[in-house]
Amino acid sequence: MCKIKGEVTLSILSIVLQILLGLGFLMFGYQKFTSDEMKQGFHYFGYGDGFRLFTGVVEVLAGLIVLAGIWIGALATVGGIMIVVTMIGAILTHVKIKDSIKNMSMPIILFIMGGIVMIINWNALF
């Protein structure tokens, strides 16, 4: 009985994180297409418009996939992987420009959240 209770708790945790990540990444991705601040930020980091738009597409897809993963567990894993990889890129970008840990906190938190979703749903891939 304890095992079932633990699985339900992990399932609820995953769903909550998937909703937060899904909505967040839809918003972050959309901003890559519309925000002048994002354009300036990517240029500051040394990236062109093509990479900004590519990142926006990846973030929107990751958001949609992680949300769809609420119903299809394998998609939660795939979405989690996409988020983890994207946040590794974001963290490395901050490291590259010698940014403060404070400015890296959001990508680090999102990396951890994506990793948790990925791990909880890993067995759904097989």
What is the residue-level pLDDT of the chain in tens, covering all 126 positions?
Answer: 356 777 889 999 999 999 999 999 999 999 999 999 999 999 999 999 999 999 999 999 999 999 999 999 999 999 999 999 999 999 999 999 999 999 999 999 999 999 999 999 999 988
Range of the domain at 64: 2-125
Q: What is the pTM of this model?
A: 0.92
The 10 Å Cβ neighbour count of residue 84 is 20
Q: How many domains does the chain have?
A: 1
